[in-house]
Amino acid sequence: MTAPAPTGPPLPHLSIQVVNFAAEPPGDWRKLSDHAVAADRASVDRLAVADHVAFGDDLSAYADPKAGGTAGGRQPTGPDGAWLEPLTTLTWLAARTERIRLQTGILLAALRRPVVLAKAAATLDVLSGGRLDLGVGVGWQAAEYEAAGLAFTERGRTLDECLTICRALWTEERASHLGPTTAFDGIHAQPKPVADRGVPIWVSGTVNHRTARRLATFGSGWIPWGDDRADVVGGITRMNDLLVDLGFEPGGFEVQGTLPLVRDDDGDLDLERTMAAVPDLLEAGVTDCRIAVPVPDGVDAATEVLAEVVAAFRQAAGGGAT
């Protein structure tokens, strides 16, 4: 099945992550909403939220690339941290924003029953006016899969079947599927997502055969992970080379890349030097530049800071999205 064409604002994009988790319950989540509203008003192109459904006590696998983590990585909360469910959170934020795209970055899609995920994603996409980007990955925590009654060792195959079912339910009037865990015939699922080819799927992962096949089959975009995120320029080359080796067309998908912050001698953000990296990222094939700029509390103050960042990005990108 052919992956959907990229949708959303004109390239290149500037994106941020809004924090939908906390080491301890914050009492209210106003800051999350304020930052999303500010990003929307400041013309940031995309915002993302993270996902964890549950935790075991041992979080060490987050730093283990063999388990799906990233070398030297540290989980941002303990196992008792508060994590808002991302699709629910994005629905809440969609009602408070007008134009910004809404991304799960990433959703552990395999933990959800595919028919329910397809319905939830299509509903959010329709209610937001087609603004959803479904970023998906397999994750790193065995305990999370075990709590859901799923085999961690089968997480890649489970994700692939989940995406196959979602795509069928989004695009076929009478959907059918025969797979290793799920089978149905002549199923109707309405409403469909806004785009004819379904909700855009962004595949997260390192450069390996399974990620490359998943990207070629389903992906509108790639969210590099691990070493390939740290070296996104080399990662793009490696991914395209692997796609060719596997018999797929290279390119044709969006790519998220981190825009590293540069600080001056006083420790303050040097916006001009930070944005100096933009042309090289775009030249290499990055289409979505993710920046983790510190944002103050309050909608007005946050909007002012983000508007300055957006203006600097547009200038560095030579115009770009509006």
> Can you give the pLDDT at residue 320?
47
Handedness of CA 51, 53, 56, 57 (dihedral sign): positive
Q: What's the CA gap between 184 and 161, in Å, rounded? A: 13
For 13-316, CATH gives: 3.20.20.30
> Can you give the pLDDT at residue 34?
98
> Can you give the pLDDT at residue 59?
94
**Amino acid in the structure at residue 322:** T
> Can you give the pLDDT at residue 9?
54
> Can you give the pLDDT at residue 66?
87
Q: What angle do CA 258, 261, 265 make, to 5 degrees?
A: 165
Q: What's the CA gap between 147 and 144, in Å, rounded? A: 5
| pLDDT tens by residue, 257-295 | 999 999 999 989 999 999 999 999 999 999 999 999 999
Q: How far is CA 39 from CA 102, 167, 271, 304, in A?
A: 11, 30, 17, 10
Residue of 267, 263, 313 whose CA lies nearest to 46: 313
Mean local confidence (pLDDT), 133-155: 97
Mean local confidence (pLDDT), 32-43: 98
pLDDT score of 181 more than 90? yes
Handedness of CA 196, 7, 163, 135 (dihedral sign): negative
Mean local confidence (pLDDT), 13-42: 96
**21-22 vs 82-83, strand pairing mode:** antiparallel
Name the token pair of 320. Answer: 């770009």
- What is the model's pTM? 0.94
> Can you give the pLDDT at residue 119?
98
| Contact partners, residue 122, CB within 8 Å, separation at least 6 | 169, 170, 189, 191, 192, 193, 199
| pLDDT tens by residue, 79-92 | 999 999 999 999 99
Secondary element (H or E) of residue 272: helix 271-275
224 DSSP β-pair partners:
205
pLDDT score of 197 more than 90? yes
Domain edges within the chain: 13-316
Name the token pair of 211. Answer: 């990620």
| pLDDT tens by residue, 204-227 | 999 999 999 999 999 999 999 999
